[in-house]
Amino acid sequence: MKAGSVISYILAAIFIIFSFLLLLGSGGQGGSPTWIVYGIIGLILGFVLIFAGVRLSAAAKQTVQNVTLNVDLPGNVKMDTIKCESCGAPLAAEDMKLVNGAVTVQCHSCGTSYQITEEPKW
């Protein structure tokens, strides 16, 4: 996905450079006024390619965000059902912290902190 936007940027640069050469050449000796038309078309194509590259990289970012959202959602749903082992108060997502790679919970009701051990329910 990232390669696609890079390729479109490179193509855009080539189009714009050649378009400028055509526009410059049209005024000089051996040039023809039709070069201006080709130059303008080339410039438009170059900017369209830049736009496509921006869209491609934006789309790539969006898919990354979607992936993290999909990962986060089941975690939040699971957290709603977790209760404090000491007092039984429901634990919120804000009570959970990552300490040294382990999920640690500090209960907001009784202040007890302990590590979450995942037990399969099936």
Task: Tell me the DSSP string of 108-119.
Answer: TTT--EEE----
Place of tokens 């970012």: 61
Name the residue nearer to Zn ion (CB basis): 54 or 99.
99
Closer of 29 and 117 to Zn ion (Cβ)? 117
Q: Which stretch binds Zn ion (CB under 5 A): 24-32, 53-61, 84-92, 95-103?
A: 84-92
Q: Does 110 bind Zn ion (CB under 5 A)?
A: yes
Which residues share a beta bridge with 99?
A: 102
**Separation between Cα atoms, residue 16 and residue 45, nearest integer Å:** 8
Positions in the binding site for Zn ion (CB under 5 A):
84, 86-87, 89, 107, 109-110
